[in-house]
Structure 1
């Protein structure tokens, strides 16, 4: 592996030295499982400007047997530059010289590797995944064949890749051509593709690649799509007999693991007559139809297809449709591919949260539930960065959900994020006109307090809390007092002396009984925050009136508090140094002497 990686890096270095080009990527490990499967070498790479992961397809005409297919590599680069579609491999940049072509795309891995991984999955789960992937390929082909009036010409397992989100992406654009293009390479160079004969349609086997100019651009891709279906469901079996003259239609015995619902349209894709052959567009329409009879609806009824469709149209759906989708996600998420959850479902749900609405309180718990399956190194980019942005949302439902579920992600936030991106928006909750937002804001503070800087903790926050102690809602006043009590030990020394006693004394005068109890308990919780003089001259004097409160609950708590503080004073007094009593001089003759009665103690003792 290291040797191969060195070869790739050396090729890049040589290219840079000879051409003076600045490449937009750095090569990483070579994906050896893709070797000898196409005209390309595949590398994991990183984008040079931001370090993000990419894939790099390398073509070197200097390699044995490659010079004659340089035109195919240049065609792939030219076509990928101009074609943009969600189900097509995402092009990011490219470099081309007289003998070398590099194509940088989103980070992907070959479908062949993923098929091996999925071979051990439960049968229904694997079938769902394969049908979902074939749906994405069919959508891409329908786009290329109709709006683009082009033939892909290279549909096979080695032309399909798996993105970071687990979605199938169509690549392999080496011979993508349109009949209207005089320089189209498919009709003159199609036979130069590796194993081209094994993947070609009957009319090509009979008349050569040029015969495709006379047909609908979809016919060759339709036949290859049928072969792809066989390959992904039956990877250990040889190609069906229909690939060899006289191209007999597949029989029921040759179905193997292809689902029954797919078998009828599968046979129509492999029709040896190109004019009667089912096109990818027709195949897609049959799969999405709900009432077209037997052999239809295999895409529409696939749970992964339904989830993707629901996510794509979430903002346009009714509340009932949104509720149904969220319920499906909640019930089925454990069986979805991890990468699909992390990079397809979660980003879509977080995006939906940005629009707020009635579904927001239901979405956020689901996001956090699914977030548990996200790899720790990806959690920040997949979950946190989006949640942090939502603190600026004007939607109260979204803000309330963020606060109520803060305990599930607070430990993953850092001080800089809290201080610079969350606090500026969080503090507006203290003055919100809706009481439930104000209360949720107060309750959230304790979860973030250890990430507040000194200025926020000892100044800005306490000003807001002083205001909240006068809130019209009794529960908010009570919770504010409790919060101050919990924050007490972490406050600065001078802040403690200035804030704590007045805050708790104010609570003791609150008309709400539980606020008064909270004031007493806050005094007790912060007992170590006061020096002895404060206890004797400020704390105890400011709470003694609570011992005769009209409510027994308050009185009982007051006496418990008094007992605690008096004991603290007694312990201190016991440790104080005894001061000696200085006796006066001998009394004058006319002053009587004091004679202690029995039982009296001598003051000199």
Structure 2
């Protein structure tokens, strides 16, 4: 009695309806949440569960048929035998969990002749293993004991009658005959003294059953092999029946397609030269066969670990297997091997499995060809299977692996969206700074490609769109563009502000300044420095001319501007300010005049008709209550500090002083 109730697999969900029912058990399909351990065709953790009750009979006194089947699966492991997962007892029912398999009788009609040929080869390989390595006889070779795995491989099951050759006798065969396949039982079996050739007879019946209704020319040497089975494997004299290992030497199991299959199966036993020659020509050989048969029978072997790690296969085979055929070749590149439909059905499930393999070489190979097959996955497959594996890859210590993973993650952004790939909260940090005319016009992909190309060129490769000045050439006619300078608060408006004006610095030199190109107001020295026109002596000044501060320049230029405004209306504000600046520079004789204490202002020349440019700039302070001050002789002529007017009796050279008196 194997196992107990506590050994049931965690996360196991068994379907209620059985897929097959025999005399000994019922087979159910189930799924396990831990799908990383139990791969199936759909890579969803599918497994098969067999449930069996107690059966009466001389052979089942110690254990039920399902228990014996489970014990033999656990003991005898082979790639062509159904893989054991777990077994447990639940009340009176015994449970056996195996890899995902289907009874051959359910899918036989969908099998191609080449698939049947490979399937028979697998069953024969398993029987040879039991006979020669384990010393056991199967005793029930038939369609009912053959299962098909998720990847289309035939697996041997039905090991409930398995026994050692030392225990195989006519009595044992007689007791087991009641439940064995009648057609596979030799009618004279009880009279034979030699009982070790039972499986040969059953295998010959299996060949006849699986090829029933098929044409003999669909598989090379099929007609000859059928005759071989009738004449030798079913010979009335058991001593004339060949050993199972001799059957493998028949031409039926050695044509080209079977040879490719065997080579891939026994790849670890091959030398480097053999593998290099084999992988260099394998695609040309496989083009002669049906691609669906190739994908179903050889897809797993072509994407096995040993194949993916072989240097020749990585260069000559894998790039074409991982690329669907429907893609158009670029620059003479050859298209993929499988069509899109076959690729999705048979290759895509294996790719999902491979992304769960923790091998850096395999992962790097998948990342290198990621753009070729990423479009075949559904949105759910990408978000639930591929994306988590890629996010795991960016945490690896291998910089190359991380870099390749980040590139593949960028391929998922247009498909899944940045919210899914990047995660977390995002906000708009960048804006489109193009002008409205460009923003409102759709930019073609060609222009975008050109912009990407130009962005990677060096500055020296671009042709300058503006003429550059030569410092050694004549600069008399050069134009200087200044940034727009905002008008002062309260300043008068000019009707034609965009009209370029000319400022003559002397009889020979001329500059053109556009008003809208003035710099900001805080650039105090920009408009007070001599304008450079390509040479140091472009502007002539007196020896004592000194660059004044902007405040001095403004104070001394306003008076000169006021006289010009009324006389020369066409003149713009910019021209007047520039002239005032020049005049202010010429009138400065001593640098001490820049000190506000030493400034001499003649208020007697100020007339009532003079226009005050700063009138609008005077701050207005509203007072909610008025304080009445009693007039005295001392404060009769009281003047606010902000409206200070010096007394005529005060000496002009004395200045304002360090403190004010009320």
Shared fold per TM-score greater than 0.5: yes
CA apart distance, 1:26? 3.9
CA apart distance, 1:110? 0.6
CA apart distance, 1:601? 6.0
Structure 2 CA distance for partners of 1:200 and 1:68, relative to 1, 3 Å: farther
Q: Residue 301 of structure 2 corresponds to which residue in structure 1?
A: 345
CA RMSD of aligned residues (A): 5.3
Match of 2:53 among 48, 60, 69: 60
Match of 1:86 among 79, 95, 101: 79
Q: Residue 222 of structure 2 corresponds to which residue in structure 1?
A: 259
Structure 2 CA distance for partners of 1:444 and 1:161, relative to 1, 3 Å: closer
SS in 1 for 2:133: coil
Task: Name whichever of 79-88 and 225-234 sits farther off.
Answer: 79-88
SS in 2 for 1:336: helix
Per-residue Cα deviation, 1:105-139 (whole angstroms, up to 9, x for no partner)? 11100101111223xxxxxxx22111111111111
Q: Residue 582 of structure 1 corresponds to which residue in structure 2?
A: 491
Q: List gaps (5 residues or longer) in structure 2.
A: 36-43, 325-337, 376-381, 434-449, 468-482, 493-553, 576-662
Number of aligned residue pairs: give it. Answer: 439
CA apart distance, 1:43? 1.0
Are 2:155 and 1:169 equivalent residues in the alignment? yes
| Rg comparison, structure with higher value | 2
Q: Residue 638 of structure 2 corresponds to which residue in structure 1?
A: none
CA apart distance, 1:446? 5.4
CA apart distance, 1:257? 12
Match of 1:392 among 360, 368, 376: 360
SS in 2 for 1:79: helix
Contact 2:16 2:28 in 1 (8 A): yes
Contact 1:42 1:55 in 2 (8 A): yes
CA apart distance, 1:170? 0.8
Contact 2:264 2:301 in 1 (8 A): no
Match of 1:368 among 322, 344, 353: 322
Q: Residue 28 of structure 1 corresponds to which residue in structure 2?
A: 15
Contact 1:35 1:42 in 2 (8 A): yes
SS in 2 for 1:42: strand
Are 2:555 and 1:555 equivalent residues in the alignment? no
Are 2:79 and 1:101 equivalent residues in the alignment? no
Structure 2: distance between partners of 1:318 and 1:259: 29
Contact 2:59 2:176 in 1 (8 A): no
Structure 2 CA distance for partners of 1:183 and 1:392, relative to 1, 3 Å: same
Q: Residue 30 of structure 2 corresponds to which residue in structure 1?
A: 45
Contact 1:415 1:452 in 2 (8 A): no
CA apart distance, 1:362? 3.0
CA apart distance, 1:325? 2.5
Contact 1:406 1:444 in 2 (8 A): yes
Per-residue Cα deviation, 1:431-484 (whole angstroms, up to 9, x for no partner)? xxxxxxx9x999878547779999x99xxxxxxxxxxxxxxxxxxxxxxxxxxx
Structure 2: distance between partners of 1:366 and 1:410: 15
Are 2:356 and 1:408 equivalent residues in the alignment? no
Give the alignment's TM-score, normalised by structure 1.
0.58
CA apart distance, 1:368? 1.4
CA apart distance, 1:158? 0.7
Structure 2: distance between partners of 1:146 and 1:578: 105
Structure 2 CA distance for partners of 1:64 and 1:133, relative to 1, 3 Å: same
Structure 2 CA distance for partners of 1:520 and 1:280, relative to 1, 3 Å: closer
Are 2:112 and 1:112 equivalent residues in the alignment? no
Structure 2 CA distance for partners of 1:313 and 1:519, relative to 1, 3 Å: closer
Contact 1:87 1:136 in 2 (8 A): yes
Contact 1:39 1:59 in 2 (8 A): yes
Q: List gaps (5 residues or longer) in structure 1.
A: 1-14, 119-125, 238-251, 288-296, 431-437, 458-489, 498-516, 525-542, 561-572
SS in 2 for 1:147: helix
SS in 2 for 1:109: strand
Q: Residue 230 of structure 1 corresponds to which residue in structure 2?
A: 208
Match of 1:592 among 563, 566, 579: 563
Give the alignment's TM-score, normalised by structure 2.
0.54
Structure 1: distance between partners of 2:143 and 2:259: 20
Q: Residue 530 of structure 1 corresponds to which residue in structure 2?
A: none
Contact 1:95 1:103 in 2 (8 A): yes
Contact 1:46 1:52 in 2 (8 A): yes
CA apart distance, 1:220? 1.0
Structure 2: distance between partners of 1:388 and 1:90: 20
Match of 2:183 among 181, 198, 203: 198
